[in-house]
Structure 1
């Protein structure tokens, strides 16, 4: 199994919303979030560059339980 669905944002209609997965083959936590606007990108770049192969996304604080669950699943799978 490659991609394990964890959760969608509980405060949305279930489509086009922040989502978390664990990819056990790639050994990664995958996050769908809202695209960062220019103001946030500028603030993020204050701590370093943003390569073309990376993106800044925003997820609401209410997604913390889903992110924790993704971390727990990765840990149980032995992903480090």
Structure 2
């Protein structure tokens, strides 16, 4: 599996640093970010089309809006020829 770094939270303090990688081979994004708080998690589960708790193999993460450019870059990398 070839994983490429795409971007890190521009206001990181290096202790808490949401990060985005792309796996072009596996056609997926890999995202490190904060765990969603319990209230957000409960609201997500309540509005999910699956109408149930998040399975133990999955989680809900909270991604700061300032990470949108890195996520867009990662999506473009999956759609296009590669990272620039």
Judge same fold: TM > 0.5, yes or no. Answer: yes
Distance 1:77 1:58 in 2: 29
Q: TM-score, normalised by structure 1?
A: 0.86
Q: TM-score, normalised by structure 2?
A: 0.83
Number of equivalences: 78
C-alpha root-mean-square deviation of aligned residues, in Å? 1.7
- The answer on 1:68 being equivalent to 2:58 is no
**Structure 1 residue ranges (4+ consecutive) displaced by more than 4 angstroms after TM superposition:** none
Report what 1:23 is aligned to.
Answer: 23
List runs of 5+ in structure 2 lacking aligned partners: none
Partner deviation per Cα, 1:16-68 (whole Å, 9 max, x = no partner): 31000101222111111101111111001012331111110111101110010
1:15 positional shift: 3.9
